[in-house]
Structure 1
C-alpha cells in the first residue's frame, strides 16, 4: 500500500527525488516484513528462540526507524529526521546478523520452543 500511495498519491506533490526516497522506504519495509515472516517460520525449528526473537525485534525497529523516517521526511519535509535513517539501517544489519547466528546455533540446553523472550 505504501508503494502504491507513493507511486500514485504523491506523484503530483512530490519531486522525483522524493518519490525515489519514498519508494526506497516502501521496498525496505516489504523486504523486512518478509524477514519477520521468515523469523516466525523458523521459530520452533530447533534454532535459538532468543536469537530469533532479537532478530525480529531489530527488524521491527529497523522498519520503524529506517522506513518511518524516510516516509516522514518525504511527507513532512522534516530534514532533522535524516540522521535517524542510518540507525534503522544498522538495526536491519543487526537483525540479519542475529538471524544468521540463530541459523548457525542450535537451541541451547535450557531453551525450549515455547520459551518467552523478554
Structure 2
C-alpha cells in the first residue's frame, strides 16, 4: 500500500463518518430510541478513531518515520 492510497482511504472513511453522523442526527433521531442512538454514536466514535489512525499511518509512511508504521499498514 502506498501513502497516497491510504490518504484516499482515510478521506473516504472521513466522508462516511460525516455522512452517517448527519444521517443519524437528522433522520434516524426521529425514529430510533435513546439506546439505539447510543449504539450509532459509539459506532461513529469507532469510525472516527479508525479514520484518524489510517490518516496517521499515511502521514508516517510519507515521511518514512519508521519501517514499523509501514508494516503495520500492510
Query: When the two structures are superposed, what TM-score results if normalisation uses the length of structure 2?
Result: 0.70
Gaps of 5+ in 1: 1-15, 84-118
Q: How does 1:1-118 map to 2 (within 5 A)?
A: 17-41=2-26, 42-43=28-29, 45-64=30-49, 66-77=50-61, 79=69, 82=72
How far the C-alpha of 1:57 sits from its partner, in A, is 2.2
Gaps of 5+ in 2: none
CA distance in 2, matches of 1:81, 1:31: 26
Cα RMSD over matched residues?
Answer: 2.5
Q: Which of structures 1 and 2 has the larger relative contact order (alpha carbons within 8 angstroms, sep 6+)?
A: 2
Q: Could you say which structure has the larger radius of gyration?
A: 1
Q: Say if 1:29 and 1:63, in contact at 8 Å, map to a contact too.
A: yes
CA distance in 2, matches of 1:80, 1:55: 31
Cα deviation 1:70-92 (Å, max 9, x = unaligned) = 11111123518937xxxxxxxxx
How far the C-alpha of 1:60 sits from its partner, in A, is 2.1
Q: Say if 2:13 and 2:47, in contact at 8 Å, map to a contact too.
A: no
User: Larger deviation: 48-57 or 27-36?
Assistant: 48-57
Q: Which has the higher helix share?
A: 2
Cα deviation 1:52-79 (Å, max 9, x = unaligned) = 1221221122221x21111111112351
